[in-house]
């Protein structure tokens, strides 16, 4: 490949926030190899908003093909409009992405395939280019809180099986506020406002703010990046915290922590009951008892924070 001029690279990002953040380790290695590369990002609104701050990004396009009358024709038109690239990398394995790849004019084309490599999702993405991934990287500037602050993230887009209980989140928040002086921030998307409200209703403190449904993607990243401590389900915000190495307690039930836990966060810890029925990878508990999350208690979280001295971080 001719390196006399800056490389032009089109990157089709993963759809979900967490997957997009996990792809950043590969993107960082790519830029390390080609420091002057000019990146064009193509992807969902949330993935574009998370990654478009990259200093090598010269253009970002939101994939609106699902809203069009003819999705394939929309992708064909945008491919022709984008022009020529030295390389295209797709972090999506779908059939539609394969067709989009064919429409794009590029000297070299690479598409992620789910079944090729077994391991952590970060490693799966990196295997596409033969890289050894290091740290995740986002470029939003961390928010500066006035006091030490813990974030609570009760949501998880994939399904209800991944979600811990609002009353338990509230118990943890009460202890962290009353005994250790933390301010509390509740996070969540528009569809998670009800859960966030339930946490709020169970709190016995006043030094909290409920931001569920009130932040842009950029603001969400900035607010998480500035936290002293984060308590979260397996979710996109969990990976945002990993990118900034925020001290984190991640609660795992039906999903596989070996594949989707925080990557390279020395201050990240997992709580899981490791039941025989887990990880089932289901959106809802197929056995109807949800013990993988129900058996996790507020005391488990506080004990883990104490054991690893996360108060001191």
97 pLDDT band, cuts 50/70/90, is: very high
φ/ψ of residue 16, rounded to 5: -90, 155
Instruction: Answer yes or no: pTM beyond 0.85.
Output: yes
Residue with tokens 């009760």: 154
Provide the strand spans (E) within the chain: 8-12, 38-43, 57-62, 84-90, 105-111, 149-153, 183-186, 208-210, 229-233, 248-251, 268-271
CA distances from 213 to 18, 37, 195, 210, 291 (A): 18, 36, 11, 9, 28
- Across 163-191, average pLDDT: 96
Half-sphere exposure (CA, 13 Å, Cβ side) for 83?
Answer: 4
pLDDT of the residue at 116:
67
5 pLDDT band, cuts 50/70/90, is: low
| pLDDT over 90 percentage in the chain | 88
Cα 161 to Cα 163: distance, rounded to the nearest angstrom? 6
CATH number of the domain located at residue range(s) 8-127 in this protein: 3.40.50.2000
Give 200-220 pLDDT, tens digit per residue. Answer: 999 999 999 999 999 999 999
List the chain domain ranges. Answer: 8-127, 149-312
- By CB neighbour count within 10 A (0-12 exposed, 13-18 middle, 19+ buried), where does 103 fall? middle
Give 34-64 pLDDT, tens digit per residue. Answer: 999 999 999 999 999 999 999 999 999 999 9
CATH number of the domain located at residue range(s) 149-312 in this protein: 3.40.50.2000
Beta carbons within 10 angstroms of residue 204's beta carbon: 10
- Across 141-162, average pLDDT: 90
């Amino acid at each position: 490949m001719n390196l006399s001029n800056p490389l032009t690279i089109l990157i089709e990002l993963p759809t979900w926030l967490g997957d997009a953040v996990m792809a950043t380790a590969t993107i960082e290695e790519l830029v390390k190899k080609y420091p002057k590369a000019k990146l064009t990002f193509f992807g969902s609104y949330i993935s574009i908003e998370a990654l478009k701050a990259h200093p090598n990004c010269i253009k970002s396009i939101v994939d609106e093909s699902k809203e069009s009358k003819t999705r394939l024709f929309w992708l064909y038109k945008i491919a022709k409009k984008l022009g020529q690239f030295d390389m295209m990398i797709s972090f999506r394995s779908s059939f539609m992405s394969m067709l989009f790849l064919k429409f794009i004019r590029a000297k070299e084309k690479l598409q992620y395939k789910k079944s090729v490599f077994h391991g952590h999702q970060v490693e799966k993405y990196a295997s596409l280019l033969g890289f050894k991934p290091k740290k995740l990287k986002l470029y939003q500037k961390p928010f500066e809180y006035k006091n030490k602050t813990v974030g609570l993230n009760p949501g998880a887009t994939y399904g209800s099986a991944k979600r811990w209980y609002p009353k338990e989140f509230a118990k943890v928040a009460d202890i962290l506020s009353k005994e250790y002086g933390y301010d509390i921030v509740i996070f969540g998307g528009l569809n998670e406002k009800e859960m966030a409200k339930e946490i709020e209703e169970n709190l016995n403190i006043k030094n909290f703010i409920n931001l569920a449904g009130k932040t842009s993607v950029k603001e969400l990243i900035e607010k998480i990046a500035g936290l002293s401590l984060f308590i979260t389900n397996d979710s996109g915000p969990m990976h945002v915290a990993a990118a900034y190495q925020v001290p984190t307690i991640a609660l795992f039930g039906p999903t596989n922590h070996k594949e989707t836990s925080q990557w390279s966060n020395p201050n990240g810890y997992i709580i899981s009951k490791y039941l025989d029925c887990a990880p089932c990878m289901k959106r809802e508990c197929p056995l109807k008892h949800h013990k993988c999350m129900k058996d996790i208690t507020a005391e488990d979280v506080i004990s883990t924070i104490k054991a690893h001295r996360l108060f001191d971080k």
